[in-house]
Amino acid sequence: MRVFKFGGASVKDAKGVKNVLNVLEKTGFSNLIIVISAMGKTTNALERIVELYVKNSKELNISLQDLEVYHNEILETLFENKQHTVFKKIEGLLLDMQTTLNRNKSTQYDYIYDQIVPYGELISTTIVSEYLNHKGYQNTWLDARDFIKTDTAYRDAEVDWQTTQHQILEKVDKNSLSITQGFIGSDKNNFTTTLGREGSDYTAGILAYCLGADSVSIWKDVPGVLNADPRVFDKTQLLSHISYEEAIELAFYGASVIHPKTIQPLQRKEIPLYVKSFLNPVDQGTSVKKGQPLDPHLPCYIVKRNQILVSLSSLDFSFIVENNISEIFSFFHQYHIKVDLIQNSAISFSVCLDDKFNHFEKLLGKLKAKFRVTYNTNVSLFTIRHFTNEAITSLEKNKDILLKQITRETYQMVSRD
């Protein structure tokens, strides 16, 4: 049993959907479940729709129409017969989304988000499933909400592993070809939940763990895991082999190729992970397995944009001690704000924060009531795993550095954008 995951870039248009078939023809169709993300930038478009809905903006209908046009263009290229049932299915999903918006009574943004944004995955998987059937490759379309069961922490739900495993083993046929959605699940009341932005990799890891899969393959628009993001850094190199531990470290610091939660369930059962190019499916790519040394052993560069650097000190210039730090972190937990770097001295405490749910303004009020606060928004956090002096010198060139920190294997720096 294998698990494949195709991201949005791999199915951004009709050519991409056709290429999924090309990959499968080279790798095999049997004993396979495929996890698929929303097409192209659909998740961004749906997030925009949620924002417009919450603001009661007149632009909402235009955005809904744009979403329909985008997917219909893909459909019309893939299916010559405009009477094919897939057209009605996609029309039905779009109508269902509109009905959900019309009937919604909640004012909770995260809840609304989770009821609307997952339509991207429901639409993309329907199109891919129907296209494969159209080409003679019979498959079963599965609704991930029927088996990925979670709590009610909308936009960042925690998996109920016991119930999820039971449902997966009951609903997934290991001996056939199945298509399902990444990123989404449902709570005990069957309201849709999501596993966090870019969570489709995590879905693949959950399925692999629960099914005892032989492997997971993540298909990307890059040759595999590189030592840096080629959109940011020049002369990147492929990492052919890395360990689970190294993959977790890279993901934690913000490497975008693998979702941070993906590795842990695979590591528990020692299920190998392969990161490969959907453009060159027979190429080796990167393997992630137990105990593999980093090969080649290179500095690995990671950058996270749109961070917030916060420095706190006590109002009376007393020491920042354990009980203060405990209180600060309880605030971070309360407002779902991720801490990416910590540095402290006797009377100050600095953190680099990732405010992915836009709760910083609420947090700021709490902090100012207790501490003297200074902060910088829109900063960048750079990380070098396995740094060298040459790598540090090169990275720091022409940067306005606000904070830096070095440990045995990792260098980090915060700079103004």
- 215 and 314 inside one domain: no
Which of 173, 205, 220 finishes a domain?
220
Q: How many domains does the chain have?
A: 2
- DSSP character string of 349-405: EEEEEE-TTS-HHHHHHHHHTTEEEEEEEEEEEEEEET--HHHHHHHHTT--EEEEE
Alpha-carbon dihedral of residues 272, 275, 280, 282, nearest 10 degrees?
Answer: -10
Q: What is the reported pLDDT for 267?
A: 95
Binding residues for substrate, as ranges, are 43, 121
Of 192, 220, 248, which marks where a domain is finished? 220
Measured in whole angstroms, how far is the alpha carbon of residue 103 from the centre of its chain? 29
Does an H or E element contain 203, and which? helix 200-211
pLDDT at 320: 84
Beta bridge partners of 141: 179
| Residues in the chain, overall count | 417
**Residues 202 and 306 both lie in one domain:** no
Query: pLDDT tens digits for 139-190?
Result: 999 999 999 999 999 999 999 999 999 999 999 999 999 999 999 999 999 9
Q: Other C-beta atoms within 10 Å of 146: how many?
A: 16
pLDDT value, residue 345: 86
Residue 71 lies in a domain: yes
Q: Which residues are annotated as a binding site?
A: 5-8, 43, 121, 231
Domain holding 305, by residue range, is 300-416
- 112 in Cβ contact with 104 (< 8 Å): yes
As annotated, the binding site for ATP includes 5-8, 231
CA pair distance 98, 116, nearest whole angstrom: 9
Residues of the chain with confidence (pLDDT) below 50: none
- DSSP assignments along 204-257, one per residue: HHHHHHHHT-SEEEEEESSSS-BSS-TTTSSS--B--EEEHHHHHHHHHHT-SS
Q: What is the CATH number of the domain that holds 366?
A: 3.30.2130.10
Rounded Cα distance, 301 and 379, in Å: 17
* 383 within a domain of the structure (yes/no): yes
Residue 395 near residue 312, CB atoms below 8 Å: no
Quick one: how many helices (H) and strands (E) in the chain? 13, 16
By C-alpha distance, which of 412, 417, 260 is closest to 350? 412
The whole-number pLDDT of residue 255 equals 83
* Nearest C-alpha neighbor of 86 from the set 144, 133, 45, 118: 133
R_g of the chain, CA atoms, integer Å: 23
Any idea what the CATH number is for the domain that residue 166 is in? Answer: 3.40.1160.10
d(CA 114, CA 21): 30
Secondary structure (DSSP) of 55-111: TT-TTHHHHHHHHHHHHHHHHHHH-S-TTSHHHHHHHHHHHHHHHHHHH-----HHH
Q: What is the pLDDT of residue 417?
A: 83
| pTM listed for this prediction | 0.92
pLDDT of residue 259: 82
What's the CA gap between 11 and 81, in Å, rounded?
21
Mark whether 209 and 353 lie in a shared domain.
no
Among 205, 220, 235, residue at a domain's last position: 220
- Which residue in the block uniquely carries the two structure tokens 């659909």? 42
Residue 385 CB-half CA count within 13 A: 22
Residue 12 lies in a domain: yes
38 in the same domain as 184: yes
